[in-house]
């Protein structure tokens, strides 16, 4: 036997345990199967901890007897273990890095695609030039950041649709109510690129990827601009990717040197002096309507951007009664209603919704806010941001009011806190809601106002927050949905999807939105979820986990074993455990509503959890215990067995 063979034979007792570790680690790295002990297993673990101790012992022996081999191997193992733990226990920075990568992937396009979109625009507008258009975005971006920093949005108002302006205005007010302001410094625009074009008979929509970096932090609201700037310069750089969507009426011609960027009305070319109404004093054109030039209608986070929107159920039928019905105006209107909804809750005043929501909605919201007030509490909504607004379905009712269902993906540090004093420490929580809008059947979309969706449908005057149910200028009745879409219901996505399943099972008949699910309704299984996109992305995993944590905390005491299961879930789904732990310890509900025990929406929520656990193809023993804990909170243990059996 050769000398090398004899040495290998003597090393085998130490090397074999390390070789045995290779498939174990590979399985863990792939996200499937068992992970060996990381200090968060309960006493009934899988026995992997003993194996690791044995391997460590043999490795130490190897270092002692064969240091030339053992020491380098120990160093390699330590480095490997460090990065393995880092991947299995991601920090907030790691999660942001993952989201940045996904944002780049979602917004990547080819030069050939860009050339095709430019030619399509030139066929309608020969004067269109991509560089000139992107230069305007480069001009608007720093102007928007400066307006945000100075908390003075008037200079950028003409460039934004009503809903986009409302978004920034409410965010500024929310921060002021919290006693803080956003301080930013060293703003740098990295890239502006056309990444999409959507054309319809109502609007051309261009999607522009905006990559930038800045230093960003919160400071007390009473800080001067100089103090805020000095504080921001101490913050680390952070880069981000957004998709800015600009809309314009088809056939609109580019007027070189005659637009808002040159201080002129984009319709008549007269000097434009601004004003709250966004109306040219010479020709009465609504300058931010999108009828005369590109208007910024939406800002979507890169990780949420979807270049290929799904078909909308019922849209064709809805257009038979309203041929001008289009998703651009509807979604802008919904975004406007969302920010009014946020504003009303943060101020504790439901009447601020009176001109854009029906009486029942205002009354229900008012009761919720009054109940909190009587308990000496209030709704706390911090750092609110919208990821995406997407129309899901229409319901046409020729005998009454039509319904439009629009999903909003948003996030906030949201919960219930004391009426006075500092708000509770809350983690940022992704949420998915469906806003149901109603409008009298036969009403027509007012395309003359374009993206100016915050106006009286009768006299075209801007709406106000006066609390009146009529227009402050012409006295027209508002909030009833007789001429324009108004907010009627807000649902968790699971609640709406369960109701939609019920509606389809009933042959398309419209049940009461708050109606109970019928006993004979078919069960919701993990193999047939109701979600439109079926993409269990990072934010969706995080949302489901926070809902699990909220369900566990509802009883007031989270058992040690359940806390360990949640930590296991956070590790496997790439959610920072510190945020989940903060949610468990906050002592305040993170969601306005949770699925009711034993309900159809609880069934659907559990099915989504099972689907998440099945991403790697199977459900192991620890994942099963996690699902059983969630099912117990939802009173759905028998249904869980059925879901796992069918999976």
The confidence score (pLDDT) of residue 575 equals 82
Q: Where are the alpha helices (DSSP H) in 219-290?
A: 225-232
pLDDT at 55 over 80: no
The confidence score (pLDDT) of residue 308 equals 62
- Across residues 111-123, what is the average pLDDT? 94
Confidence at 506, pLDDT banded by 50, 70, 90: confident
CB 241 within 8 A of CB 107: yes
- Across residues 71-86, what is the average pLDDT? 63
Tell me the three-class secondary structure of 521-586, residue by residue: CCCCCCCCCCCCCCCCCHHHHHHHHHHHHHHHHCCCCCCHHHHHHHHHHHHHHCCCHHHHHHHHHC
CB 192 within 8 A of CB 134: yes
Please, how many CA atoms are within 13 Å of residue 545, restricted to the half-sphere of its CB? 34
Fold of domain 314-340+352-520: Nuclear Transport Factor 2; Chain: A, (3.10.450)
CA distance 467 to 14: 77
**What is the average pLDDT value for the chain, to the nearest integer?**
80
Phi, psi dihedrals of residue 264, rounded to the nearest 5°: -125, 155
Place of tokens 């290998």: 8
- CA–chain centroid gap for 602, Å, is 21
Quote the pTM value: 0.75
Q: Where are the alpha helices (DSSP H) in 41-161?
A: 48-65, 67-88, 92-106, 111-124, 130-150
pLDDT at 448 over 90: no
Q: Which of 391, 484, 460, 447 is nearest to 251 (CA)?
A: 447
The confidence score (pLDDT) of residue 103 equals 66
User: What are 218's two structure tokens?
Assistant: 């919160």
Strands (E), 249-280: none
For 93, residues 6+ apart whose C-beta sits below 8 A from its C-beta are none
pLDDT at 98 over 60: no
Which range among 59-63, 460-464, 528-532, 554-558 has the greatest average pLDDT? 460-464
Q: Which of 432, 352, 378, 408 is nearest to 178 (CA)?
A: 378
pLDDT at 441 over 80: yes
The confidence score (pLDDT) of residue 531 equals 39
Q: Which of 188, 203, 195, 201 is nearest to 130 (CA)?
A: 195
Confidence at 594, pLDDT banded by 50, 70, 90: confident
- Across residues 514-525, what is the average pLDDT? 34
pLDDT at 115 over 80: yes
Strands ordered across the beta sheet of 295-301: 180-199, 204-220, 237-248, 295-301
User: What are 363's two structure tokens?
Assistant: 């009354």
**What are the tens digits of pLDDT across the range 616-644?**
667 778 778 888 888 888 889 888 888 88
- The CATH architecture annotation of domain 105-307 reads Roll (3.10)
Q: 89: phi > 0 → left, psi -120 to 50 → alpha, else beta; which?
A: beta
Confidence at 337, pLDDT banded by 50, 70, 90: very high
The confidence score (pLDDT) of residue 227 equals 96
Confidence at 576, pLDDT banded by 50, 70, 90: confident
The confidence score (pLDDT) of residue 578 equals 82
**What are the tens digits of pLDDT across the range 478-504?**
999 999 999 999 998 988 998 888 877
Confidence at 176, pLDDT banded by 50, 70, 90: confident
CB 235 within 8 A of CB 254: no
CB 202 within 8 A of CB 324: yes
Domain boundaries for CATH 3.10.450.240 within the chain = 105-307
The confidence score (pLDDT) of residue 36 equals 23
**What are the tens digits of pLDDT across the range 535-565?**
446 678 888 888 888 888 876 778 888 888 8
CB 199 within 8 A of CB 161: no
**What are the tens digits of pLDDT across the range 230-275?**
999 999 888 888 899 999 999 899 998 889 999 999 999 999 988 8
């Amino acid at each position: 036997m050769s000398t090398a063979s004899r040495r290998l034979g003597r090393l085998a007792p130490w090397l074999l345990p390390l070789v045995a570790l290779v498939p174990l680690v590979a399985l863990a790295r792939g996200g499937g199967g068992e992970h060996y002990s990381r200090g968060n297993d309960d006493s009934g673990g899988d026995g992997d901890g003993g194996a690791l101790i044995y391997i460590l012992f043999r490795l130490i022996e190897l270092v002692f007897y064969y240091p030339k081999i053992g020491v380098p191997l120990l160093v390699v193992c330590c480095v490997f273990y460090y990065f393995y733990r880092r991947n299995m226990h991601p920090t907030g920075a790691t999660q942001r890095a993952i989201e940045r990568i996904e944002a780049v992937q979602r917004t990547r396009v080819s030069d050939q695609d860009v050339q095709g979109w430019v030619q399509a625009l030139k066929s309608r507008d020969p004067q269109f030039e991509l560089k000139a258009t992107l230069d305007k975005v480069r001009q608007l971006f720093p102007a928007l950041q400066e307006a945000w920093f100075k908390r003075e949005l008037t200079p950028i108002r003409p460039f934004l649709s009503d809903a986009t302006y409302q978004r920034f205005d409410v965010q500024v007010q929310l921060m002021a109510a919290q006693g803080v302001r956003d301080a930013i410094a060293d703003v740098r625009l990295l890239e502006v690129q056309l990444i999409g074009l959507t054309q319809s008979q109502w609007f051309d929509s261009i999607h522009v990827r905006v990559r930038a970096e800045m230093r960003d932090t919160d400071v007390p609201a009473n800080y001067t601009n100089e103090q805020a700037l000095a504080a921001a310069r101490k913050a680390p750089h952070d880069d981000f990717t957004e998709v800015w969507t600009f809309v314009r009426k088809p056939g609109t011609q580019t007027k070189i040197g005659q637009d808002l960027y040159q201080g002129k009305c984009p319709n008549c070319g007269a000097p434009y002096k601004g004003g709250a109404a966004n109306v040219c004093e010479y020709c009465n054109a609504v300058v931010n309507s999108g009828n005369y030039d590109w208007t910024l209608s939406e800002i979507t986070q890169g990780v949420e951007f979807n270049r290929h929107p799904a078909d909308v159920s019922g849209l064709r039928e809805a257009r038979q009664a309203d041929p001008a019905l289009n998703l651009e105006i509807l979604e802008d209107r919904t975004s406007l209603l969302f920010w009014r909804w946020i504003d009303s809750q943060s101020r504790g005043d439901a009447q601020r919704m009176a001109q854009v929501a029906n009486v029942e909605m205002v009354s229900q919201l008012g009761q919720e806010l009054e109940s909190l007030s009587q308990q000496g509490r209030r709704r706390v909504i911090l750092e609110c941001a919208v990821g995406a607004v997407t129309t899901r379905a229409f319901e046409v009712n020729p005998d009454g009011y039509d319904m439009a269902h629009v999903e909003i993906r948003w996030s906030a540090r949201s919960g219930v806190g004391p009426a006075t004093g500092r708000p509770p420490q809350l983690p940022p929580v992704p949420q998915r809601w469906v806003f149901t809008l109603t409008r009298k059947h036969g009403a027509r979309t007012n395309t003359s106002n374009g993206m100016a969706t915050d106006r009286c449908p009768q006299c075209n005057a801007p709406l106000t927050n006066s609390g009146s149910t009529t227009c402050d200028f012409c006295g027209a009745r508002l909030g009833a949905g007789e001429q324009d879409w108004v907010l009627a219901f807000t649902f968790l996505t699971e609640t709406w999807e369960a109701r939609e399943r019920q509606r389809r099972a009933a042959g398309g008949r419209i049940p009461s939105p708050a109606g109970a699910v019928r006993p004979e309704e078919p069960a919701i299984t993990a193999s047939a979820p109701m979600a439109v996109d079926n993409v269990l992305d990072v934010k969706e995993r995080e949302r489901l986990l926070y809902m699990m944590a909220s369900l566990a905390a509802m009883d007031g005491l989270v058992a040690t074993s359940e806390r360990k299961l949640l930590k296991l879930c956070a590790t496997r789904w790439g959610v920072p455990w510190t945020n989940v732990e903060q949610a468990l310890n906050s002592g305040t509900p993170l969601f306005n509503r949770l699925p009711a025990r034993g309900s159809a929406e609880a069934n659907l929520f559990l099915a989504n959890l099972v689907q998440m656990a099945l991403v790697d193809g199977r459900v192991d023993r620890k994942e099963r215990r996690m699902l059983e804990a969630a099912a117990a909170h939802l009173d759905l243990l028998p249904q869980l067995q059925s879901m796992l059996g069918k999976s």
